[in-house]
Amino acid sequence: MTDDLLFRRAVDLAALLRSRELSAVELMEATLARIAAVNPAVNAVVTLLPERAIAGARAADAALARGDQVGPLHGLPIAHKDTMATAGVRTTWGSPIFAEFVPETDALIVEREKAAGAITIGKTNVPEFGAGSHTFNPVFGATRNPYDRGVSSGGSSGGAAVALACGMHPIADGSDLGGSLRNPAGWNNVVGFRPSPGRVPSWPTSAAWFPLTVQGPLARTVEDVALMLSAVAGPDRRAPLSLAEDPAIFAHPLGRDLAGLRVAWSPTLGGLPVDRRVAAVVAAQRAVFEGLSCAVEEAEPDLTDADEVFETLRAWDFELGLGQHLDEHPDLLKQTVVWNIEQGRALSGPDVGRAERLRTLLYERVRSFFERCDALVLPVSQVPPFPIEEEYPTAIEGVPMESYIAWMRSCSRITATGCPAISVPAGFTPEGYPTGLQIVGPPRADRLVLEVAYAFQEATGYWKRRPVLTE
């Protein structure tokens, strides 16, 4: 009975809470019991606040008893990614430099989640400074994939994705630069949505005008992601890139007829190496879109220079945000972070200017491409989960990877376009590893992406398969 409750869709739980058929205390007690039972096996939730969580649940029940107006996330437990500032709660970024750091203010996304009624239960694990799509750090250790604890959970929102997959909470927040919402979602059979830049405003930040890093939702289903987006999207004066569109557009039902939708099918996104197991799972999904009466054609935008754009601007951002830590604590940073900072320090002004010029040209090509199609579909990750002891794949199908970020270009190339993208469960490899399908929409067409993903989800039902854990 408890498992059935904890794996319910967040939209259903929210409705049960509002009708008072389920109390927030009942849900919270079940949530905390689940975390106690399964978290030691996977190490997803790294800071837990049980007393605070129960107090919040009691307050949520009291508000409903008084007849108060409540938000869309009222009474739902949530753990925040450990790169999100949480007032009065330790926020480490997975770094020994911040192992005991306690912020005084909440990040804007956390502020909005609380205002919508979500109840903080703790924090989820991340790679050091969120760098790399593999969740491990010297503060808390590694987060294990619940479908096989010997392989990676992905990252950087790995703790969040694993906690969702294991029924530890129904919604989660995350962030995405090179795939950090999409990759762990794909590897844990949940949904991760990278919204358009500015859709979910970010604050505080060292680079308020930087469009490549975004924050967004994760959940077990597409409609739960949309529910959360309706609470955290919308403009804010502290975030100059924030979009003014009313977030209520995400609160409406996602069902639509996809007949005639023009789908561009891209198995390799410009010739990227893709592990044959992933390629086989993704290839089988083309028939799903054809069965939904979409017009499917193998095509992709011209992503020339997307790698240079992403890797240059990422390096610039790493130096800006983390350079002082290299100066002050060179022995407390993992070598891949040091490498990325040094890449930033090696850049010249013309290097950055060239990247911006190329990004503008890239955007124009992608915008024109989406005048001829409605959605682009491709793999989320180029490989299935790899052994947890490895930091990153050094080769894919015999093709060497020159850096710790090169193996994630199926995501980072999409980042460079500025388009919204989602990872939705798409099946399993022969070993039983979850595989994600990436659906990309035209610039700012966030709702369209959710609608297409929802139709795929409902046609397939892959999200219903759960990991088997010994409690």
Give per-residue pLDDT as tens, 207-225.
Answer: 999 999 999 999 999 999 9
CA-CA distance, 291 to 424, in Å (whole number)? 18
The answer, yes or no, to whether residue 286 has pLDDT greater than 80, is: yes
Strands, E assignment, 357-420: 375-379, 395-396, 399-400
Q: What is the pLDDT of residues 350-385, one digit of tens each?
A: 999 999 999 999 999 999 999 999 999 999 999 999
Look up residue 45 and give its two tokens.
């939730």
pLDDT at 3 over 90: no
Question: What number is the average pLDDT over the span 51-73?
Answer: 98
Alpha-carbon torsion angle 195, 193, 289, 291, nearest 10:
-120
At 469, the pLDDT band (50, 70, 90 cuts) reads confident
Q: What's the pLDDT tens digit per position in 21-32?
A: 999 999 999 999
Closest-CA residue to 93 (of 175, 213, 198, 211): 175
172 vs 221: CA distance, rounded Å:
12
In the chain, the percentage of residues whose pLDDT exceeds 90 is 99
* 391: helix, strand or coil: coil
Q: What percent of the chain has pLDDT over 70?
A: 99
Q: What are phi and psi of 378, to 5 degrees?
A: -160, 175
Active-site residue flag, 180: yes
In whole angstroms, give the CA distance from residue 428 to residue 166.
Answer: 17
Give the residue from 428, 425, 401 showing the smallest Cα distance to 412. 401
CB distance 91 to 60 below 8 Å: no
List 123's β-bridge partners, or say none.
Answer: 47, 80
- pLDDT of 344 above 60: yes
- The question of whether 156 is a catalytic residue gets the answer yes
Q: What residues are paired with 387 via a beta bridge?
A: 151
Q: Which of 245, 334, 260, 338 is nearest to 294 (CA)?
A: 260
How confident is the model at residue 470, as a pLDDT?
61
Residue 127's pLDDT band (cuts 50, 70, 90): very high
* Catalytically annotated residue among 180, 196, 412, 423: 180
- Is 1's pLDDT higher than 60? no
> Would you state the pLDDT for residue 193?
99
Tokens (6 digits) for 402:
């020159």
CB 195 within 8 Å of CB 229: yes
Find where tokens 């309706």 sit: 230
C-alpha 307/C-alpha 310 separation (Å) is 5
- In whole angstroms, what is the distance from residue 224 CA to residue 193 CA? 11
Catalytic-labelled residue, pool 23, 153, 156, 157? 156
The answer for residues whose C-beta is within 8 angstroms of residue 121's C-beta and 6 or more apart is 28, 31, 32, 35, 45, 48, 49, 50, 52, 53, 77, 78, 79, 169
Determine which one of 81, 114, 123, 334 is catalytic: 81
CA separation, residue 104 to residues 85, 91, 177 (Å)? 8, 10, 25
Per the prediction, the chain carries an average pLDDT of 97
Contact 242, 438 (CB under 8 A): no
Spatial CA neighbour of 194 closest among 457, 441, 458, 456:
441
Residue pointed to by tokens 């850049």: 347
Query: What is each CA distance from 314 to 176, 260, 277, 317, 322, in whole angstroms?
Result: 12, 38, 29, 5, 12
Q: What are phi and psi of 387, to 5 degrees?
A: -55, 140
Q: How far apart are CA 217 and CA 410, in angstroms?
A: 20
The third-level CATH classification (topology) of the domain covering 2-464 is Amidase signature (AS) enzymes (3.90.1300)
**C-alpha count within 13 angstroms, C-beta hemisphere, residue 393:** 24
CA distance 187 to 35: 20
The predicted model scores a pTM of 0.98
- Which structure tokens are listed for 304? 């020339």
The span from the CA of 65 to the CA of 86, in Å, is 28
DSSP per-residue codes, 267-290: SSTTT----HHHHHHHHTTHHHHH
Would you kindly state where each structural domain of the chain is located, as residue ranges? 2-464
Residue with tokens 């409605």: 374
Q: What is the residue whose two structure tokens read 């694993």?
A: 162
Question: How far is 355 from 308, CA to CA, in rounded Å?
Answer: 7
**Helix, strand or coil, per DSSP, at residue 315:** helix
